[in-house]
Chain A
Amino acid sequence: MDFGLSEQQEMLKKTARDFCKTELPKTLIKEYAKDPRGYPPQLWQAVADLGWTGLVLPEQYGGSGASFMDLAILLEEMGRACVPGPFLSTVVLGAMTVLELGSEEQKSAILPRVARGELVLTMAVAEPHAMYRSDFFELEAKHVAHHYTLSGTKLFVTDAHVADYIIVAARTKGGVTLFLVDAKSPGVTCALLPAMAGERQCQVNFDGVRLTRSDMLGGLNHGKAYLDKVMQRAAVARCSEMLGGAEQVLEMTIQYAKDRVAFGKAIGSYQAIQHHCANMLNDLDASRCMIHRAAWLVSEGLPCALEVSQAKAWMGAASRRITSLGHEVHGAIAFQHDHDMHLYTKQAVVGEASFGSSAYHAEVVARELGL
């Protein structure tokens, strides 16, 4: 077994860390959070210029052909810095799906533009009633004459307000089908939800949106099995962001415990504080081992349903514990908006709930155990 990062992965990590440090001070991130769009276009361009939007795309589409594991390491750093913008939506939900399921025409039309930072993609899965469970989807693509009409509501769609294309998982006669929908199509309307963290989430209504067979991704009724794969990838990507965030919280907390003096001593010298920090460290170490393993399995295309759900269920609870203890050690200073802690607290809450909550993934584990 080898838990180590390759030289290239270390380099990617360092580049990302340096970029975030110099270009993205937290004051700026807090400003972006108040803007309805959520991020400035020049930041998205900078991210693309670094080669990140094309990181996992093949060279023929303008990418650098890196692995999902490399992407997971990048996402850790992005999570650590709370980088705003539609990165996970565009790359993990969007581009990777187009790459795997798209026709050559779809791939050539979309992927090079993603790599250049010209397009934003996302995927609409969750519904008000069914959430992520595709068996209960209500949004339907009805086959009418030579086309399909798409009607229904998707919820918690990340970055749909800025997306150029939305991949929609729809009920079709006999299964679930993915459609690549131009976000400007007549009948598509989008409303921002008042979400807690920096990530933008939307309600997207589809009202008789007209589609053809050529808008399908992966063919008729092949969506269900593929959605499992998308969910696994998204869950690991989200875990990677949370892992990076948790790492930053621990570092901030340790620094504060060393600097802050109470009763004449640095508070980090008191066991009550030390044990909080030790508990945070343990949760972080344990999370890192499991998330790297899950990301690696996804990356290698090996069976990973059990490991991914274990990782997501664990990371959700662990990042909640880590941020809570971080607050406890910081005291009153960190529940001020000026402080950075709340960025991570919000990231943890949203992270635990998205792409399958801890309870959802625990149930996946129970099923995998044959219960």
Chain B
Amino acid sequence: MDFRFTPEEEAFRREVRDFLDKELPRDWPGTDPDLYHEDAFSHIHEVSAAMQKKLAAKGWLGLTWPKKYGGHEEPLWKQIILEEELTYRGAPGLDPYQFVGGMGDLLLEFGTEEQRQKYLPMMVRGEIKGATGMSEPNAGSDLANLQLKAELQGDYWVLNGQKTWQSAAHVADLAPVYVRTDPNLAKHRGISIILVEYKKTPGITMRRLEMMSGLGAFNEVFYDNAKVPKENLLGEINGGWKIVMAALSHERSYGVMLLINIKRDIDLLIQYCKETKDADGVPLAQNRMVRNRLAEVVIQQEIARNVGYKLNYLALTGGNVVSTANCVKIMGGITTQRVAQVGMQIMGLHGQLGPVGGNWRQMDPNDKWTRLGGRMKHLYLSTVCNTIAAGTTEVARNAAAGALGLPREPKPAPKK
């Protein structure tokens, strides 16, 4: 056992920190790892694109990938430390749809040599933005029910149907889109994955959806005879379910990023409690209830972050990650919501004030009463999705029960 980072790992961490001190705009309040800020606000998107180029110049995009695709074949722990440091500072540029268990890993695992040669180098150079096309109006938790149809006509896949809740689609260049290629097979056997270049494919239209936080970061995507070259099939025809499973298990490590990101908010809240006095003139930090609540969220975050480290350890040593990955996914969602709840309780009516996005828009000069730039309000509203996106907590619990060896849920009787 050893719960420390090695000196070499600590040195790399310092290198990343120095880079961020130098390259991030001054007083950067941090974007969230779900990219909702940067996809909703063009000025943040621009900073992200610039940071992406800087990360590419450092060789930190595709850090672990093979050299022949422009990668650097560095050990996985470097990638983990990079993700940690960027996330804690809320630094954009390491597009999770490409680099944090995203398309890049799927291409490496399932792509053809041509596909890898074509797409991986442009990711490494920081030239494109990714997204992912999974959910549909009737395929969320029941993902195998997806209906977007793809038919092979000559040299093209012709896509017809609809996706929804597609984060970042309106700014993305490339996404793996999950389609039905055989409606006659059992639900999860007729699914394939097609790499779609959104901006270069006629027949695709998008409609921005506004989230309850007010951010417009995700989309409905409509396909009307959209033609994609047939060589853009990822993996085997009707063999997509395997890739779905791989993609979802990658996405669950997203919980780790949520947990690191929320540390910034916890620190913000602690600072607020030290600086803010109650009606009796006593700092909130001396109030027993406040101390206990803050300690509890700190403990919960720290415990969950440790599980995240365990997940990394298992990934690095080839252990079975299923239950640990589910644990992190569940704890990530619950912990971020708990921080927002505690923050709202502590800040009271001041907590619910603030502009859309919190911390990110020019504050109204007449607004004297919003605190922390409206971050807590935004956090409360935006974390609602954290127990739902990338697999609901309930679906994760089903998977955990499966890992415990519990019998499968009885199937409803077939319709007559």
Contacts and interface: CB of A to CB of B under 8 A. Distances in A.
Interface of A: 1-6, 69, 254, 257-258, 265-266, 268-271, 273-275, 277-279, 281-282, 285-287, 289-290, 292-293, 296-297, 307, 310, 313-314, 359, 362-363, 365-366, 369-371
A371 B3 contact: no
A283 B406 CA distance: 18
B132 to A, nearest CB: 25
Contact of B404 (A277, A286, A289): A277
Given A1-B312, A313-B296, A314-B300, 13 more contacts: A271-B401, A271-B409, A275-B398, A277-B406, A278-B404, A281-B323, A281-B404, A282-B331, A282-B400, A285-B307, A289-B310, A296-B1, A366-B294
B237 interface: no
Contact of A371 (B270, B302, B398, B405): B270
B370 interface: no
A269 B309 contact: no
A365 B1 CA distance: 25
Contacts of A282: 326-327, 330-331, 400
A1 B312 CA distance: 9
Given A3-B313, A279-B397, A254 B405 contact: yes
B28 interface: no
Category for how many chain B residues contact A: 35 or more
A258 B407 contact: yes
15 contacts: A2-B313, A4-B317, A265-B410, A266-B407, A271-B394, A274-B401, A279-B397, A282-B326, A282-B330, A285-B324, A286-B307, A289-B303, A290-B303, A359-B292, A371-B290
B273 A371 contact: yes
B266 to A, nearest CB: 9
B212 interface: no
Contacts of A365: 295, 298-299
B21 to A, nearest CB: 23
B26 interface: no
Nearest to B77: A1
Instruction: Please provide the 9 A-B residue pairs with the shortest distance between their CB atoms, ordered closest to farther.
Output: A274-B401, A278-B400, A278-B397, A366-B291, A362-B295, A268-B406, A365-B295, A289-B306, A269-B407
Chain A contact residues: helix, strand, loop or mixed: helix
B406 A286 contact: no
B96 to A, nearest CB: 22
A191 B39 CA distance: 68
Contact of B291 (A1, A2, A6, A363): A363
A265 B407 CA distance: 9
The residue among B303, B313, B407 with the most chain A CB atoms within 10 A of its own CB is B303
Contact of A258 (B312, B317, B406): B406
A279 B396 CA distance: 10
Interface string B388-403: 0000001011101101
B68 interface: no
B408 interface: yes
B303 A286 contact: yes
B113 interface: no
Contacts of A292: 1, 3
B4 interface: yes
Given A285-B323, A310-B299, A269 B409 contact: yes
Given A258-B407, A371-B291, A313 B299 contact: yes
Interface-central residue, B295, B309, B405, by most chain A CB under 10 Å: B295
Contacts of B313: 1-4
Given A278-B401, A289-B303, A314-B299, A371 B285 contact: yes
A268 B294 contact: no
A257 B347 CA distance: 44
B269 to A, nearest CB: 11
Contacts of A277: 400-401, 404, 406
B134 to A, nearest CB: 22
A72 B274 CA distance: 37
Contacts of B295: 313, 362-363, 365-366, 369, 371
A254 B400 contact: no
